[in-house]
Each structure stands twice: as structure tokens, then as C-alpha cells.
Chains A and B, each alone.
Chain A
Amino acid sequence: MIINHPLLGPRDSQEFTYLGDASLIDRPDWQAPDAVDQFHDYLYLRDNPAGEHRELWFHEQGDRSWLVVTRNVVTHEILNVELASDVARSRGRSK
């Protein structure tokens, strides 16, 4: 596969390592009253769509960017590639 890195252009997927569902960005609040339940769902419950999937890839053999890759897991078509830090900010994460 070829992943179109937002900073570096097209790169072979061999340069990357795969983590999993990009919903990992939405890490729960540790101080919520039901934090254990929320973390449980966050860590263990995943959608497994036969189609578009947003997933985290790490450019380990490159610039070490974490990317959010939107990929159709049936056809392997890659529809969008974003820097994970941009996605995280857009989802309200800061520091």
C-alpha cells in the first residue's frame, strides 16, 4: 500500500507500523465517576466495519509522525491521511 503522508508525500506502507482504531485518540477523563467503565470501553470495544475505517499508523522508518489514515479495509483504498496531532486537537485534546 501507499500512504500519502501529509508532510512527505506518497510513502510505502512498509515504512509504517500500524496501531489500530483512531478512536484511541478519544482517551477518557481519568476523573470521571465511571472512569473504569469508560476506559474499559475505550480500550476493548471496537467497531469492526467492512468498509471505511479510521486508523492510526506510525511513520517509524520516517519522520515519526503518527497519522490518522482513513482506509476502506475491504478494498484498501485510502481516502484521507491526516496528522494525528491535528485530529487530536480537532477533537478537543490539548495538553
Chain B
Amino acid sequence: MTANQMSGEMNAVFTPSDSQGSQKTTVNRLAGGQIDRSRRLRFTFDGKGYLAHPGDTLASALLANGVRLMGRSFKYHRPRGVISSGSEEPNALVELRSGARREPNTRATVIEMFDGLEATSQNRWPSLSFDAMGVNDLLSPFFAAGFYYKTFMWPKAFWEKLYEPIIRRAAGLGSLSMEADPDAYDKGFLHCDLLVVGAGPSGLAAALTAGRSGARVILADEDFRLGGRLNAETLAVGDQSGADWAAATVAELASMPNVRLMTRTTIIGAFDHGIYGALERVSDHLAVTPKGKVRQTLWRIYSKRALVCAGAIERPIAFVNNDRPGIMMAGALRAYANRWAATPGHRVAVFTNNDDGLRTVADLRAKGVQIAAVIDSRPDAPALSGVEHLRGAMVIDAKGRLGLSSIVVRTASGDTRTIPCDALGVSGGWNPNVGLTCHHRSRPVWNDGIAAFVPGNDLPAGMTVAGAAVGHLTTAAALRTGAEGAAAALADIGHSAALPDLPRAEDDAPRLTPLWYVPHKKGRAWVDPQNDVTVKDVKLAHQEGYRSVEHLKRYTTLGMATDQGKTSNVTGLAVMAAMTGQTIQQTGTTIYRPPYTPVPIAAFAGRSAKEDFRPKRLTPSHKWATEQGAVFVEVGMWMRAQWFPKPGETTWRQSVDREVLATRGSVGICDVTTLGKIDVQGTDAAEFLNRIYANPFAKLGVGKVRYGIMLREDGMVMDDGTAARLAEDHFVVTTTTANAVGVYRHMEYCRQCLWPDMDVQLISTTEAWAQFSVAGPNARKLLQKIVDQDISNEALPYMGCAEVTVMGGLRARIFRISFSGELAYEIAVPTRYGDGLIRAMADAAKEFGGVVYGTEALGVMRIEKGHAAGNELNGTTTALNLGMAGMVNKKKDAIGSTLSEREGLNQPDALNLVGFRPVSKDALMSAGSHFINAGAEANAANDQGYMTSVAWSPNLGHYVGLGFLKNGANRKGERLRAVCPVKDLETEVEVVSAHFIDPEGERLRA
């Protein structure tokens, strides 16, 4: 190479502290290329500064700067360089950026250069060129396929303490920052008639055909420059270069309002019914995500038809030491030269089994790169002139640990020759990129003509394939099948598209004689460089009985990790086929699954992260409660006040005890809006409730409320609550907070699927009404200050309800029901008045020394009263278990009543809900404890039941508990062991009534 053939560009290498930089040549930058030489970008790799241009990738910029060594391999820590120019890259994985934005395992081939880019090599210590773990390479006999299953078998205790930490440290990829991702991510939805996957020649021709017809088109490509291989080749399209034709076509497409061009967008998977997942890297090519923009967007694309134009991926030929930095795919070598004006070396050799590899020779020569030799495994290959073309020869070894220095060639005559070179392009042929076509378990089929798998016949509905992805490996065929594929796909949905006049293009299908690996006795030939799998590993797996291709994959790890074997799988299968004597078709492939390339978890989360992980529901008193300094707890999606600390209270118990005592002593107010509310209307409303509740509802009077239990059809209790009859044909049903959604769904199921002609309508009004419980001996006095009508015991007796007005005319509903066991009401106003009502009631409560209480006090009082809640209604308990067997009416049809009669649910030793108190008054009890008879051993065989709820009762001065005990109803007074192995706690408890407070129910009727 002469000086004037070099770009002549200066100022390549600088140190971060020296912004002017030292004056050095970008040693491997060629002329031409699709980079913007008018601008320079600075970047660092392992702390050393370099220069690049817009249009570069990290890989092209490193090559241009003379850097071939980019990483260390996973297992043996072998020095590695880049081998591809696309997303299939297995070797050149780096940690990109720093701090919280650090991204491990990022492929240098797809990192678009920006000013200030920082990249660090990974899986090496202390440095990339001297890696202490390189000792693994010398120990390689111990690390062959299946090594962990054989080497680290015993003693068992060594696994966790010794083997695993060592393996994890020695074998691995990049590391996470362990900091929260500071960027925003999003999700989006798009619709189109035709989705074109890939913007190479076939994709562009397809989009042009569909776009000109007026169809709604999405053209997506993972690259930041559309054109695919047209940008990497020198082949003409019409009278333009391929790259110029691509640019002109993209410009026309960009002008069409019905076409959406999506660059930097990978179609990651084919899902059901024409839905495709797409990851758009919106800001990855920028130094910092701009304010108000997202880093990446995960799109869900609803397509009527999809045309996969995903091209093909070149495959290597395995030979000994074929992983030396500087050895890469022949097509990548010319892509770097043509598109990025970069070369890994000045003296380059090419090893090929097909004509396409020879294009690299011509293109590099045209760029002034010296060709050391062309090693062509085909004895009958057409002879090249002007270069040394060794036909019938093979590369048998490569030298140069940190970078290729020479190759060893066995010629057709059997001589061995060493040929100095600093780069080698290898071409074993091209594999159509069939991944997406297999996402619904279609199996690709072998095509002998191109010695590769092509898509099968049972593709996902609505998907067709064109161009190299279907095995058409010429530009002309790609253009033609792309256009025809688009027209056919649109015709299928009744939309006609005229075929465009396509330019003339190269149409010589490359000839190939398959060669998968160069036979060798010694040394290691790499099939899967990312997972350090060699030809011998595949042979070993086969010898050890792993004959299925799926077993081969798991045993050797061939085709796993970030690249999913895009360059290695077919070669691995071919080696295996050679072992078994089967054809490659018979050997078969492993299953291709989404995503096509790695997707950050953050993109899957989108905006549903951190505090927005799920929606928050706020109660109508939330603002007021916040002002009071309430402590909140998340219940379902609701934020409920848990307790309201007062000055001087240092523990939650102090606050909760005060709230309980004040409520039972005077009056307490609690926001119970979160309980589900379902409005039930219609002439059959009463009969409908009669069937969904186990107990009777048909004869409930207007103005009355009744407690009810709903069963599942299997006889278990689903939920409990109340139904209030506001009018002959109008009820309001309440549910527990947790089951509000499920109960509503169940009621709609009963209405629509079981009794479709019942005149009944349902609607959830949970969020339409703000509802507060007012409980305690002064509840009536307090509420009478709020409610405009008379609410005396005569006017509104226990279990009565009424539509009333409050505060001088605001419509409201009042229900005289009690969860605490006190004289209590629930008062409901339209939600927008909830804030006003809590303020008015809290103000009015002051006169009585009343309080507003949270969910903890609510829980204490319901346990004191012996009321079941979620802990008891846990999906495994029956009405009998809960002491409500008498409520299940046998004289009517209700959901669950028939199966509640099953023998197994009605045994004499069935669990009964009873109360427990510690024998020693100051002893602790714990929910989750199991009951064991006194004197019996604490084991599962002796289990007598379990404690469901425990609270400290400030009224009684000891802990109180509820629990299920075998035949518990008949065991009052018995002493048992309550054993909690999890907390290492055991308490002697006495079986008592579940109603610790006011067992006769006098208070609530007062």
C-alpha cells in the first residue's frame, strides 16, 4: 500500500488528557467509504483515546485505528478480535459507557460511534493483552465439553463455597453497573398492511413496490444506514453503485406518507396473528439521551402481512487456531473496506470454498490492500489472475497470539507453506437468516444448491420471505423477489401493487463446494467462538452419547448466549452430521426463539418501572391523610393509611393502640372506599343475588343490609361482604378490597354464561363512591352532625340502609353495618366529595375525642371481634371451616352449594375457626404457627391446624389470635402448642371463642 492510497488522515491517537492529541496516522483507514470525514469523533477503548468519523461503528473505528484485539473468550480467555460486521458478532463484546449507563456485552459491530464514546474490554484481568485468566487456555483439557459435570462433582460442599465462585469469576462476560438505569424507556403500538423486515436490496424493492401502491408500509432495519449488503458491496445496481441506489430509494420512501422507515430497529420476534415485536434504539447512538426522549422503544407492530427480507449471514470454516484476532469473515472484511474504509491489516489473505469469497479479493485490491494469497479449497475453482490463488489448498493453522502474523497452508500437492499476513478473510458460504421464520416452530429445510438451510413451508400465518433470506443469493434475485413478494402479500389482502421497473444487477449465483472444517489431529478449531466450542467438543459430545442436536447444544453450550450461534450453529450441525453419517437435514436444527438479538430488560419494562411499575390508586381521603402524616400501605393497588402517628409516638403500636382504644371508647373514622362496590339492578336482581350468595337474599327487605358469603363452584368461600337493598330492583354489593375485581368478573360470568335471560345489570362503582366507616359508642352522635335526616336507632336500626343527604343537601348513602363490633355506620358520598367529608367528620370528631384510624387498627378490631378477613378467606376454607355452615342454604340453587356438601369437606375433624390466647398473658403469638397437641412432637403428622391472624389487643392487654383447628368448635378450653419453626417461636395457647369483644353483639345493636 502506498501513502496516497491511504486516506492520509492524521491525528488518530490521542490520550483523554491531551485533547490536541499526538500526530499519528489512522493506520488502517482506507479511501472512500460511507463515513463523514468532515467531522471527527473522539472515543476511548480501555482508557486509550482514538478518533473516528460519523458513520463508523466502534468495530470499524477500532480496526481503522489498528486495533485487532477486542476481547477475551468466555471460557479459555483466548485473545479475540471482531469477526463480523453485524449483529451476529460473537467475539467483540465490550462494556459500553460508564457509571449507571454501563452496558455489558455490547457488540462493537452495532455500536454507532458518537463523540465521547467510552468502551472497555471485558472478561480479562489485569489487561486485555495480558490476562491472568489466560491460564485457562493452558488448562483446556479440563474445560472440554461438559467439564463442569465431570470435574466439579465432589465433595458436594465444595460446590457452593469453592467451585461455583471460581467458575463464575473465571468464565463470564461483562458485569452490570449495579446501579439503577437513569434513562426512560417506552412501549408503542403500530399498525400496517405490510411489514418489511430488513432494508437490503429485497427489503427496499419490497417497500418501494408496496409504498408506491399506497399501502401502509413499515420498513424496519437494525442498522443505522438502510441498504444492507448494498452498502457493503461494490456491485452496481443499474448505473449506480448499490449504496447510491439504496440511498435514492430510501429518499423516495421517506417522501411517502404511507411508509414508515424505522432505522436502528430490530424485529425481535414473530408473535401470533401478525404481531411483531420491534426494539428501536432511539437514543443509543447519542452520547446522552436527550431530555424528554427515551433511550429505547419496544414496539408492538400489528401487520396484516409481513415480508421477511432479513438477508443471509456468512459462516466460517473451522481450522486450527481460527480464532486469532485478525481472522474474520470474508464478507465482513470487504464490508469494513467498502462501507467504513477500514481494514484490519495491510497484508491480507482470503480462505474460501466459494466464489463470493473471491469478491473480497477484488474489493480489497481495488482499495490498495495487498493480497498475501487466496486459499481456495476447490481444486476446480476458476483461476484468479494477479494474485497467488492456491486452489485445492486449505489453511491448517494460524500464528500470532494477540494478532494474526501468519497462516500455515497445506497446498493441493500436500506441501505446507507459511504465509505471513495480518488479516485473513474466511468464507464458508452464506446461511439464509431464517430465525424469524422459525418462531412458530417451523423447521428450516436443507437446500443442497446453496448448502444451507432455507425457510420451511409452515411459516407463521401472513409471513412470506424474499431475497437472500429465502436463499436467493444474488442482487438481481433479491430485488426481484422483494418486489414480487410485496405485490403477492398485498394481493393476498386485496390490495393491488404494480411491480416497479427494477434496475439491472449482478445475477451470478456464487458456486460453492461445502467445506465445514479442515481435518486436524492436533490443536483446536473453533466452531462457536463465543462459547469456546471446538470441533473436538462436538466430537466428544457425540462420543459421549449426545446424539440429539438439542442435547449437543446443552452439553457443549454451542449456539447459546448473546449471539445465539448466528455464525456457528450450522457449522456445528455439519460437524455433528459428519460424526453420525447423517445428512445435515436429518441432523436438524435447534429451535429458534425470540428475541432475535438481546433486548434490555428495561425495554420490556418500558415506563412500568420503579414507582410506576403498576398504577397506584388513591383513596378520596389520601390528600387529607398525607397532611396528617399518615403511614401508607399498598393494598392491591390502593395506597391505604396504615396508621396516623401523633407527636410523641415513637412506635407504630403506640399509634395503633391509641386508635383502637379511642374508637372503642368513643368514635373512630376509617376510609373504606377500597372495598369493592357493585351496583346490581333489574327485576331479577334479588334472585340473581340469591344464586351468587350461599345464604338467601330473595326476601331481603328494602332498606335492609345483609351479610353474605359467596362460594366458588367447588364449595370454597370466594369472598364475603354485604348487599344492601336500596329499592325493589336495586342492590349495592360490597366485596373485600382484594377480591373486588374477581368478584365482579365472577358475577358477570354468572349473568352472561349461566343465566343470560335474567333481567339484571351490573356495574362496578368502587371508585364512584367515597365511603367511610364511623364506629364506636359516639358514632351516631358524630354522624348526626353530618347527616341531615334522623339516624336514631328507631329510624335506622342495625343492618338498615338509607339514601340520605349530608351537610345540607349532598346526596349520600348510609349503611348501619359493623366490622369492628361497635355501633357503626358506613357513609358514602360521590367520590369528589370524599375529601370534604373526611375533613368535616374529622373536625366533628374532636368534640368526642374521636380519631381517624388506619388499616392496622381496623385489623386489630376485626380480630378482637372474630371477623374473618383475607387471612381466613384464603381460598382453601369452606363455610363450615369458618363457622358459617348454617348460612349455606340447601333449599335453593346457589353457586357452590352443591359441592359444599362433598363428604371430604364435611368430616367430623374438619378445621373450625376459633380464637386463641396465650396461656401466659405476656407471651407472644405468631400468625402462621401450627397447632400441636400438648405433649406431641411438632411434626406434620401431628398438625392440628394453623393460626391465621394475630394482633395485640389493647383492650384485653394480651395477644389475641384467630386460627383453624381440627374440630375446634368442640375444643374450647384446651391447651395446645402453637409452633412457628420459621420464627423459632413456640407458645402455649388456649382455645377460646373467636369473639373476644362483646360476644353477645350488644354494642352494634345499641
Contacts and interface: CB of A to CB of B under 8 A. Distances in A.
Contacts of A85: 752-753, 756
A39 B713 contact: yes
B986 interface: no
A36 B273 contact: no
B893 interface: yes
A27 B756 CA distance: 13
A56 B745 CA distance: 12
Contact of A88 (B274, B684, B745, B753): B753
Given A60-B745, A64-B748, A94-B757, 8 more contacts: A1-B272, A30-B897, A31-B893, A85-B753, A88-B752, A93-B756, A94-B756, A95-B757
B461 interface: yes
Contacts of B897: 30
Contacts of B749: 19, 56, 58, 66
Given A56-B753, A65-B752, A94-B756, A36 B898 contact: yes
Nearest to B744: A64
Interface string B896-916: 011101100000000000000
Interface of A: 1-2, 17, 19, 24-25, 27-28, 30-31, 35-36, 39-40, 42-43, 56, 58, 60, 64-66, 75-78, 83-89, 93-95
B302 interface: yes
Contact of A95 (B272, B714, B758, B898): B758
A95 B684 contact: yes
Contacts of A89: 756-757
B754 interface: yes
Closest 9 CB pairs of A and B: A85-B756, A95-B757, A94-B757, A2-B273, A30-B893, A66-B752, A95-B758, A76-B272, A1-B272
A58 B755 contact: no
A58 B714 contact: no
B783 interface: no
Contacts of B753: 24-25, 56, 66, 84-85, 87-88, 93
A78 B758 CA distance: 30
A4 B749 CA distance: 19
A66 B899 contact: no
Contacts of B275: 1-2
14 contacts: A2-B272, A2-B274, A27-B754, A30-B893, A30-B898, A36-B901, A43-B714, A58-B745, A84-B752, A85-B756, A86-B756, A87-B753, A89-B757, A93-B755
Interface of B: 272-275, 302, 440, 461, 684, 713-714, 741, 745, 748-749, 752-758, 893, 897-899, 901-902
A58 B748 contact: yes
Contacts of B754: 25, 27, 88, 93
A94 B755 contact: yes
Contacts of B899: 36, 39-40, 43
A75 B440 CA distance: 8
A43 B755 contact: no
Nearest to B893: A30
A2 B745 CA distance: 21
Contacts of A43: 713-714, 899
Contacts of B302: 2
Nearest to B901: A36
Contacts of B273: 1-2, 76, 78
B756 A88 contact: yes
Contact of A66 (B274, B714, B748, B893): B748
A58 B275 CA distance: 21
Contacts of A58: 745, 748-749
Contacts of A64: 748
B641 to A, nearest CB: 28
Contacts of B756: 84-86, 88-89, 93-95
A2 B461 CA distance: 13
B461 A77 contact: yes
Nearest to B759: A95
Nearest to B762: A64
A4 to B, nearest CB: 10
A65 B893 CA distance: 24
Given A17-B745, A76-B273, A95 B755 contact: yes
A33 B753 CA distance: 24
A59 B853 CA distance: 37
Contacts of A77: 461
A86 B757 CA distance: 10
A24 B755 CA distance: 12
B527 to A, nearest CB: 34
Nearest to B756: A85
A93 B232 CA distance: 67
Nearest to A2: B273
Contacts of A2: 272-275, 302
Give the residue among B274, B461, B748 with the most A Cβ atoms within 10 A: B748
B598 to A, nearest CB: 24
Contacts of A28: 898
A92 B758 CA distance: 13
Give the residue among B461, B893, B898 with the most A Cβ atoms within 10 A: B898
B452 to A, nearest CB: 27
A78 B461 CA distance: 12
A67 to B, nearest CB: 9
A88 B714 CA distance: 21
Contacts of A24: 753
Nearest to B754: A27
